[in-house]
Amino acid sequence: MENDIENKPENNLKSKAEHSTQAIHVDIIKKVKDVIESEEILYELADFFNVLGDTTRVKILCALSVNEMCVYDLSFLLNMSQSAVSHQLRVLKQARLVKPRKVGKMVYYSLDDEHVQMIFNQGLSHVRER
């Protein structure tokens, strides 16, 4: 039992000071530290990119980058149920990547703003480069 306690990873960790290295470029570290975003913003950014990590959502964004569309047309295009498409649109809407526009009983979706179009185009351009 005593060996179990001694072999636990948390008991074998060296102090932070023993693991840290000396800074080589202190001026660069200071410059970056002064402008780096807060943890909260970086978590939000990670969540934002996480939303883009789903192929179905990317297909929807691709379609909407061409033209606004209703759920019915998106489900036909993607060969998916309306329920599944609606769920993905809800996720995209919560991430402020798409926005709805209601006309009577019909709801049309489009990219939320030009930033989303730019992000999509830049991502596409990046993966096409080889």
H or E stretch covering 8: none
pLDDT of residue 19 exceeding 90, the answer is: no
Same domain, 29 and 46: no
Same domain, 65 and 110: yes
Same domain, 28 and 59: no
Spatial distance between the Cα atoms of 23 and 1, rounded to a whole number of angstroms: 41
Q: Among residues of the chain, what percentage have pLDDT more than 90?
A: 74
Same domain, 72 and 14: no
H or E stretch covering 13: none
What number is the average pLDDT over the span 98-103?
98
- Closest of 106, 110, 59 to residue 85, by C-alpha: 59
Q: What is the pTM of this model?
A: 0.77
Residue 109: other Cβ atoms inside 10 A: 24
pLDDT of residue 17 exceeding 70, the answer is: no
Q: What are 77-94's pLDDT values in tens digits?
A: 999 999 999 999 999 999
Query: Would you call 51 exposed, middle or buried from its count of C-beta atoms within 10 A (0-12, 13-18, 19+)?
Result: middle
Q: Is the dihedral of CA 12, 17, 18, 19 positive or negative?
A: positive
Better pLDDT: 97 or 6: 97
Indicate the average pLDDT of the chain.
Answer: 88
- Residue numbers of the domain that contains 20: 2-35
- Closest of 79, 52, 64, 58 to residue 109, by C-alpha: 64
Number of domains present in the structure of the chain: 2
pLDDT of residue 112 exceeding 90, the answer is: yes
